[in-house]
């Protein structure tokens, strides 16, 4: 991983970050986020030893500690005490671990890795950083490097709220003086805390350092989660690669977002979504393991506490996370009962905890607001470009119009989430009762995320964020399906060919729908 880190650092320095800023930021990340978070994970989980799991979960817990400490210190008018509050929590966790004398442990997902696994993960991290540099850094020159600049309106909003968090408390609406901001504000607290401690300017943090490091951690978490959930080492890096590098089907390179899948674009235009991923991925793994009763009896209470902390962090980073998780758990329990599987008490408890934290955050953080969402099936399908241009041709013809909407929904979903749908369909191509619990759980979260996609509309397309978290859950399914398909090609070519033919047929149909955009535009002229 040393080479990708060095190359990513070169990219950041070339984009205007000074070596001093890079060093201060790295020290902050390790000293005040990673180390306290890992110590808290050790204290809660009963594990000890620096493992991939402790790094991935600990970094998320570290952000939760930082945000909580900043909110406490800012609320009491003592912002400068934020690092000391973080250190105090980390020290308390260290004392607890030392007194309890937990023995070093090695979870099943931290068994020896394949030889080239770290190199491949590092390559995916570097690919993500280069992609981010091309899409974000080029559009956001740092203020000191230019005489004038006009940023995309979303970037201006994020910069304004970050400044609010740094200079005022409680955080207010930056566009209207004296108004509160019922919004997911944890990301802005993270930016403000980092600026408060390191002295780095907000634009450098918002446009360079923070999104780069968050994205790198998320890739690492995806690689760990894919391996931890599926038991297949290479499912993790493949899941990360599929999620980062493969989005919607693009039939025409001249037309962006034909099927409205803006996943990677949203990673830098919506940093709240980015931080939400950082805390959501460990929640997925912990929820799945607690649901399957994997931890030993002595570890379960601490892991429930860790899950509660991370669920609270999810609530304040992105409002769309907890409804998807709770919905997925309900679907999982319903299917498990239908399959006569008895172990549903733990998933029900996780669903109850998730729903309770969401209810508290909905009333407290968001003032009970729905944010402009409205019930209007078929949701995002109606906003896709091919549908917008083709629908007038079939409007008013009863049977034909219904047929059009059915076809548009199926093909629109295929264009929006081809890899996720193919992976889910491939793994469940045989009897559902044979599906392992982890696969059933991830598929349930993905299915739950499609409900707002198909039922809700929003002026800015923000209902997508529900489904984006579902795509994350489906990424390990797609990775396992791809790996299984490749291995079965050697052992049973006919079965693999059938899977490829079926997937290719769906892709071609969705691509055909997308290419009709140009034709319909010409006809309407």
The 10 Å Cβ neighbour count of residue 348 is 15
Q: Among candidates 18, 479, 64, which has minimal Cα distance to 309?
A: 64
User: Would the pLDDT of 524 be above 50?
Assistant: no
Mean pLDDT across 118-143: 94
pLDDT digits 0-9 by tens, 279-305: 999 999 999 998 776 655 556 788 999
User: Would the pLDDT of 502 be above 70?
Assistant: no
Mean pLDDT across 20-30: 98
Give Cβ neighbours of residue 109 (< 8 Å, ≥ 6 apart).
Answer: 52, 53, 224, 227, 228, 231
In a domain, 111, yes or no: no
Cβ pair 149, 139 in contact under 8 A: no
The 10 Å CB-count burial string (b at 16+, else e) for 216-255 is: bbbbbbbbbbbbbbbebbbbbbbbbbbbbeebbbbbeeee
In a domain, 207, yes or no: yes
For residue 27, the model assigns a pLDDT of 98
Residue bearing the bigger pLDDT, 428 or 320 = 320
Q: Residue for token digits 């599987």? A: 341
Cβ pair 358, 366 in contact under 8 A: no
In a domain, 112, yes or no: no
For residue 525, the model assigns a pLDDT of 29
Give Cβ neighbours of residue 71 (< 8 Å, ≥ 6 apart).
Answer: 189
The values of phi and psi at residue 375, to 5°, are -75, 115
H/E segment holding residue 457: strand 456-457
- Can you state the angle between helices 52-75 and 35-45, rounded to 10 degrees? 110
In a domain, 525, yes or no: no
pLDDT digits 0-9 by tens, 395-416: 878 778 889 999 999 989 988 9
Mean pLDDT across 503-523: 52
User: Would the pLDDT of 520 be above 50?
Assistant: no
In a domain, 334, yes or no: yes
The values of phi and psi at residue 457, to 5°, are -130, 155
Map residue 72 onto helix, strand or coil.
Answer: helix
Mean pLDDT across 153-167: 95
Written in H, E and C, the secondary structure of 342-388 is CCCHHHHHHHHHHHHHHHHHHHHCCCCCCCCCEECCCHHHHHCHHHH
The CA distance from 506 to 35, in Å, is 47
Residue-range definition of the domain harbouring residue 463: 1-104+118-518
The dihedral over CA atoms of 423, 426, 432, 436, expressed in degrees to the nearest 10, equals -60
The CA distance from 160 to 165, in Å, is 9
- pLDDT grade for 105, boundaries at 50, 70 and 90: low
Range from 49-63, 123-137, 231-245, 423-437 carrying the lowest mean pLDDT: 423-437
Counting Cα atoms < 13 Å in the Cβ hemisphere of 9 gives: 15
Mean pLDDT across 356-377: 86
In a domain, 109, yes or no: no
pLDDT digits 0-9 by tens, 449-501: 999 999 999 887 888 999 999 999 999 999 998 898 887 766 555 555 555 55
Q: Which two tokens stand for residue 516?
A: 């009709």
Q: Which two tokens stand for residue 157?
A: 């909003």
For the chain, what is the domain count? 1
In a domain, 110, yes or no: no
pTM value surpassing 0.85: yes
For residue 523, the model assigns a pLDDT of 33
């Amino acid at each position: 991983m040393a080479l990708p880190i060095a190359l990513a650092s070169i990219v950041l320095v070339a984009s205007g970050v000074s070596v001093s800023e890079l060093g201060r930021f790295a020290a902050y990340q390790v000293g005040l986020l990673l180390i306290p978070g890992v110590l808290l994970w050790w204290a809660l989980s009963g594990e000890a030893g620096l493992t991939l799991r402790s790094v991935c979960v600990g970094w998320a817990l570290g952000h939760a500690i930082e945000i909580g400490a900043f909110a406490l210190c800012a609320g009491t008018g003592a912002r400068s005490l934020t690092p000391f509050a973080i250190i105090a929590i980390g020290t308390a966790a260290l004392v607890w671990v030392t007194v309890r004398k937990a023995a070093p442990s090695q979870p099943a997902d931290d068994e020896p890795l394949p030889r080239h696994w770290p190199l491949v993960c590092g390559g995916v991290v570097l690919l993500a950083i280069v992609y981010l540099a091309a899409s974000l850094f080029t559009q956001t020159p740092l203020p000191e490097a230019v005489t004038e600049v006009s940023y995309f309106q979303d970037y201006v909003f994020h910069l304004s709220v970050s400044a609010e968090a740094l200079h005022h408390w409680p955080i207010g609406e930056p566009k209207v003086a004296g108004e509160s901001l019922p919004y997911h504000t944890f990301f802005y607290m993270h930016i403000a805390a980092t600026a408060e401690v390191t002295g780095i300017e907000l634009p450098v943090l918002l446009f360079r350092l923070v999104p780069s490091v968050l994205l790198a951690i998320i890739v690492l978490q995806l690689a760990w989660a894919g391996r931890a959930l599926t038991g297949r080492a290479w499912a993790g890096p493949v899941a990360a690669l599929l999620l980062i590098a493969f989005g919607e089907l693009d039939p025409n390179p001249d037309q962006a977002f034909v099927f409205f899948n803006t996943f990677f674009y949203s990673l830098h235009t919506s940093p709240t979504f980015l931080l939400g991923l950082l805390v959501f991925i460990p929640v997925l793994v912990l929820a799945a393991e607690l649901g399957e009763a994997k931890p030993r009896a002595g570890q379960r209470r601490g892991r429930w506490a860790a899950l509660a902390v991370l669920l609270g962090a999810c609530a304040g980073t992105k409002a769309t996370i907890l409804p998807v998780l709770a919905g997925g758990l309900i679907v999982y329990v319903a299917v498990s009962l239908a399959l006569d599987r008895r172990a549903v008490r733990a998933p029900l408890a996780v669903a109850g905890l998730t729903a309770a934290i969401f209810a508290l955050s909905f009333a407290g953080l968001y003032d009970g607001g729905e944010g402009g969402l409205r019930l209007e099936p078929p949701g995002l399908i109606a906003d896709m470009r091919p549908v917008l241009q083709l629908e007038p041709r079939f409007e008013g013809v009863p049977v034909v119009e219904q047929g059009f909407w059915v076809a548009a929904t199926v093909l629109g979903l295929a264009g929006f989430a081809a890899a996720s749908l193919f992976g889910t369909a491939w793994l469940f191509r045989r009897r559902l009762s044979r599906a392992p619990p982890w696969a059933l759980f991830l598929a349930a979260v993905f299915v739950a995320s499609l409900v707002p996609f198909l039922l809700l509309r929003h002026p800015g397309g923000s209902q997508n964020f529900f489904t984006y978290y579902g795509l994350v859950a489906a990424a390990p399914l797609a990775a396992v399906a791809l790996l299984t398909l490749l291995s079965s090609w050697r052992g049973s070519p006919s079965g693999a060919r059938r899977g490829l033919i079926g997937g290719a047929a769906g892709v071609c149909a969705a691509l055909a729908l997308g290419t009709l955009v140009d034709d319909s535009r010409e006809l309407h002229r």
